[in-house]
A and B are shown apart, each in its own frame.
Chain A
Amino acid sequence: MAEPIEKVSIVISKGSLEGVYPGLIMANGARMEGIEATLFFTFFGLDAVIDKRMDHLKVATVGNPALHIPTIVGGLPGMSAMATKMMSKEMEKIDIPPVREFIEMIHDAGCDIYGCKATVDMFHLKKEDFCEQVDDIITVGDFYEKSAGAQIIFT
């Protein structure tokens, strides 16, 4: 039998609701299976751990053919808010928590959470801008060091 996975490092690089959740579900799922997990937020993915923004992530309704809404309609005012509301409602039904609660749960489950230093510098962010679950702001080099022995998953 193949060796079981013992450690994963998950990178979340997108800041839309549908860009953030897959990584969160995979991190939580890893901990539920007893797999060590690290979450690393970079570029727009950082919105998911910025205190003022994490409760307001939206579904992108433009440029996503799988949403089956023509781009021009997806661009109308209120479309993104509506799609976000609908998706959040469906997620709640299957017990997927809102972003803030999910991040708390994942962190309490023993997953380390890091922000990307390059992005923090680029967007002029400070450690205080982040929710308390962010353990540290680290460089890409630190990220690879912390990922020793892990499978790296980029989302």
Chain B
Amino acid sequence: METIELIGREIELDEDGNLKNISDWNEEIAVELAKQEGIDELTDRHWAVINYMRKEYEEKGTAPSIRRLTKESGVPTKELYQLFPKGPAKKAARIAGLPKPKGCI
């Protein structure tokens, strides 16, 4: 099992490299995970997406699809791809401490 050191703590990862335990997540860890994804600074718009994803995950048990993200997070598709280049749903889920989204859309 892979573990990484973030903010001085040993954190377990799942097979996709996402956090194994969502309870390990906090905002400082999000900042570190974002840096690993090439995002140097998390703006309010990034947080809007991250917080929406966490809320959806808590309510429904899976990370939202890109379509729900687009329709319900308040952040349109174009901006999602600017905020999280190279795959918003997947990257935002990882930064939010959630498993990789399971749907095809």
Contact = CB atoms under 8 A, between A and B. Distances in A.
B104 A33 contact: no
Interface string A8-43: 000000000000000001001101111000000000
Nearest to A101: B67
Interface string B62-73: 000111101000
Interface stretch (B2-10, B17-25, B46-54, B80-88): B80-88
Contacts of A63: none
Given A105-B67, A108-B76, A28 B81 contact: no
Interface centre among A29, A32, A33, A110 (most CB of B within 10 A): A32
Contacts of B86: 34
Nearest to A33: B87
B90 interface: yes
Given A32-B87, A105-B70, A94 B103 contact: yes
Contacts of B76: 108
B77 interface: yes
Interface centre among B68, B103, B104 (most CB of A within 10 A): B104
B81 A95 contact: no
B91 to A, nearest CB: 8
Contacts, number: 45
Interface residues of chain B: helix, strand, loop or mixed (majority): helix
Interface in A86-132: 94-97, 104-105, 108-110
Contacts of B77: 104-105, 108-109
Contacts of B105: 25, 28-29, 94-97
A28 to B, nearest CB: 7
B67 A29 contact: no
B89 interface: yes
A25 B103 CA distance: 11
A110 B81 contact: yes
Contact of B81 (A25, A33, A104, A109): A109
Interface of A: 25, 28-29, 31-34, 94-97, 104-105, 108-110
Given A94-B104, A104-B77, 11 more contacts: A25-B105, A28-B66, A31-B81, A33-B90, A95-B65, A96-B67, A105-B67, A109-B77, A109-B78, A109-B81, A110-B81
